[in-house]
């Protein structure tokens, strides 16, 4: 049968999971932007006052922004093979567009590895926080599209076809 060699970066020559060795890479400025979309039912939209929803738990979007930044900073504790990164900036923003909350997470670091997972984690946890804080109003909240919008600074840049 022989040894199967994988082309996946987190699998070694013996098909065992491992952390990618970045010791020989050059530290460069790395940026990533991820987005999550939360579909808000009428009961949640009715609680919207300006650009914020005040729930029994407090201000929903302000809390979700804090949760998203905290999660991005702790990505290496949640995703097994992510390298710990000292993010230089992480910005989470939330905009209501019709019946959707659009959550954007932008991360930046000068390092040997990228920040895509940090941006995706930040956007995802912010979306989960919106759900958690609004579930008393409705369980019909749907966390939808979560995706990488852009990354720069590594081997190759990426931009989605939004």
Rg of the chain over Cα atoms, rounded to whole angstroms, equals 18
162, with CB counted inside 10 A (0-12, 13-18, 19+), is exposed
> Measured between alpha carbons, how far is 82 from 101 in angstroms, rounded to an integer?
28
Give 3-state DSSP helix, strand, coil % of the chain, rounded to 5.
25, 35, 40
Q: Which residues are known to be catalytic?
A: 132
Vertex 124, ends 122 and 128: CA angle to 5°? 115
Residue 144 dihedral angles phi and psi, to the nearest 5°: -105, -130
> Measured between alpha carbons, how far is 105 from 152 in angstroms, rounded to an integer?
14
Q: Tell me the CB-side half-sphere exposure of residue 134, using CA atoms within 13 A.
A: 33
């Amino acid at each position: 049968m022989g040894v199967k060699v994988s082309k996946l970066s987190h699998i070694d020559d013996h098909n065992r999971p491992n952390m990618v060795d970045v010791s020989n890479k050059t530290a460069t400025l790395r940026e990533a932007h991820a987005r999550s979309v939360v579909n808000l039912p009428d009961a949640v939209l009715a609680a919207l006052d300006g650009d914020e929803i005040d729930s029994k738990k407090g201000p929903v979007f302000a809390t979700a922004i804090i949760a998203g930044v905290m999660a991005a900073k702790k990505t290496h504790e949640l995703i097994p093979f992510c390298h710990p990164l000292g993010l230089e900036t992480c910005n989470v923003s939330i905009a209501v567009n019709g019946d959707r909350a659009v959550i954007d997470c932008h991360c930046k670091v000068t390092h040997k590895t990228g920040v895509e997972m940090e941006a995706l984690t930040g956007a995802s946890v912010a979306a989960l926080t919106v759900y958690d804080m609004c579930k008393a109003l409705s369980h019909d909240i749907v966390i939808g599209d979560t995706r990488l919008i852009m990354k720069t600074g590594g081997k190759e840049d990426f931009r989605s076809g939004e």
